[in-house]
């Protein structure tokens, strides 16, 4: 009986670890894509004089900061 309880607990721990790894990978990917989007907005806004892209880049920087906060 005790060994079965141990296996149940071990299975739950393994599932939690896998879930945390998936969450960490997802947040890292979102963080990377957010920064790439921000850089694209800044470059396009600079070269084509589109001021609204600077606002979008600012929103992306705020989102990036939030994702860094979630990841830590």
Task: Answer yes or no: is pLDDT of 57 > 70.
Answer: yes
Distances 66 to 1, 7, 33, 51, 58 between C-alpha atoms, Å: 45, 37, 14, 24, 13
- Range 38-44 contact pairs with CB under 8 angstroms and sequence separation of 24 or more: 38/64
**pLDDT digit string, tens, across residues 23-53:** 788 888 888 999 999 999 999 999 999 889 9
User: What is the structure's pLDDT at 3?
Assistant: 64
What is the pTM (predicted TM-score) of this model? 0.70
Q: Which helix (H) or strand (E) holds 33?
A: helix 2-48
Task: Answer yes or no: is pLDDT of 5 > 80.
Answer: no
The number of angstroms, rounded, from the C-alpha of 52 to the middle of its chain's C-alpha atoms is: 24
């Amino acid at each position: 009986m005790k060994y079965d309880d141990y296996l149940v607990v071990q299975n739950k721990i393994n599932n939690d670890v896998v879930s945390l790894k998936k969450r960490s990978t997802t947040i890292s990917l979102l963080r990377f894509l957010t920064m790439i989007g921000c850089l694209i907005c800044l470059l396009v806004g600079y070269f084509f004089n589109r001021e609204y892209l600077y606002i979008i880049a600012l929103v992306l920087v705020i989102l990036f900061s939030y994702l860094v906060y979630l990841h830590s």
